[in-house]
Chain A
Amino acid sequence: MPSNENYNVAVKVNDLHKYFGELQVLKGISNEINKGEVVAIIGPSGSGKSTFLRCMNLLEVPTKGNIYVDGVDITQPKVDIMKIRQNIGMVFQHFHLFPHMTVLENVMYAPIKVKKLSKVEAKQQASALLARVGLESKAQVYPSRLSGGQKQRVAIARSLAMQPEIMLFDEPTSALDPEMVKEVLDVMKGLADSGMTMAIVTHEMGFAKEVADRILFLDEGKLAEDATPDDFFSNPQCDRAKQFLEKML
Chain B
Amino acid sequence: MNLDFGRIIPNIPFILQGILLTLQFTALSTIFGFLWGTVLSLFKISNITPLTWFSNVYTSIFRGTPLLVQLSLIYYATPQLTGYNISPLEAGVFTFSLNSGAYISETIRGGILAVDRGQGEAAKSLGVPYSMMMWDVILPQAVKNILPALANESINLLKDSTLVSVIGVTDILRRSQIVAAEKFIYFEPILVAALIYYVIVMGLTTGAYALERKLQRSS
Enumerate chain A residues within 8 angstroms of B128, measured Cβ to Cβ: 82, 109-110, 113-114
Taken residue by residue from 180 to 219, chain B's Cβ proximity to chain A (1 for < 8 Å, 0 otherwise) reads as: 0000000000000000000000000000000000000011
B72 at the A interface (CB under 8 A): no
User: Within the assembled complex, what's the spacing in Å between the Cα atoms of A90 and B129?
Assistant: 16
Enumerate chain A residues within 8 angstroms of B127, measured Cβ to Cβ: 82-87, 110, 114, 162
CB < 8 Å neighbour of A82 from B119, B122, B129: B129
Taken residue by residue from 93 to 136, chain A's Cβ proximity to chain B (1 for < 8 Å, 0 otherwise) reads as: 01011111000000001100110000000000000000000000
Chain B interface size range:
20 to 34
A159 at the B interface (CB under 8 A): yes
User: Within the assembled complex, what's the spacing in Å between the Cα atoms of A89 and B123?
Assistant: 11
User: Within the assembled complex, what's the spacing in Å between the Cα atoms of A157 and B62?
Assistant: 47
Cβ-closest chain A residue relative to B144: A100
Tell me whether B126 and A158 are in contact (CB under 8 A): yes
A13 at the B interface (CB under 8 A): no
| CB-contacts of B98-126 with A (<8 A) | 116, 118-119, 121-126
Tell me whether A90 and B125 are in contact (CB under 8 A): yes
Tell me whether B140 and A100 are in contact (CB under 8 A): yes
User: Within the assembled complex, what's the spacing in Å between the Cα atoms of A99 and B142?
Assistant: 12
Evaluate whether A92 and B118 lie within 8 angstroms (CB atoms) in the complex, with A100-B219, A144-B219 already known.
Answer: yes
Give min CB distance, A22 to chain B, whole Å: 22
B137 at the A interface (CB under 8 A): yes
Enumerate chain A residues within 8 angstroms of B116, measured Cβ to Cβ: 94, 96
A75 at the B interface (CB under 8 A): no
A51 at the B interface (CB under 8 A): no
Evaluate whether A99 and B125 lie within 8 angstroms (CB atoms) in the complex, with A92-B118, A94-B118 already known.
Answer: no
Tell me whether A96 and B129 are in contact (CB under 8 A): no
Tell me whether A159 and B137 are in contact (CB under 8 A): no
Tell me whether B219 and A99 are in contact (CB under 8 A): yes
B136 at the A interface (CB under 8 A): yes
Enumerate chain B residues within 8 angstroms of A144, measured Cβ to Cβ: 219
Taken residue by residue from 60 to 89, chain A's Cβ proximity to chain B (1 for < 8 Å, 0 otherwise) reads as: 000000000000000000000011111111
Best-surrounded residue of B122, B124, B126, B128 (most CB of chain A within 10 A): B126
User: Within the assembled complex, what's the spacing in Å between the Cα atoms of A142 and B128?
Assistant: 21
A23 at the B interface (CB under 8 A): no
Enumerate chain A residues within 8 angstroms of B122, measured Cβ to Cβ: 90, 92, 96-98, 155, 158
Cβ-closest chain B residue relative to A102: B218
| CB-contacts of B33-77 with A (<8 A) | none
Tell me whether A98 and B121 are in contact (CB under 8 A): no
Enumerate chain A residues within 8 angstroms of B121, measured Cβ to Cβ: 59, 90, 92, 96
Give min CB distance, B161 to chain A, whole Å: 32
Tell me whether B141 and A99 are in contact (CB under 8 A): yes
Cβ-closest chain A residue relative to B130: A82
User: Within the assembled complex, what's the spacing in Å between the Cα atoms of A113 and B126?
Assistant: 10
User: Within the assembled complex, what's the spacing in Å between the Cα atoms of A79 and B124?
Assistant: 15
Give min CB distance, B15 to chain A, whole Å: 42
CB < 8 Å neighbour of A98 from B124, B129, B137, B144: B137
**Residues of B at under 8 Å CB distance from A?**
116, 118-119, 121-129, 132, 136-137, 140-141, 144, 218-219
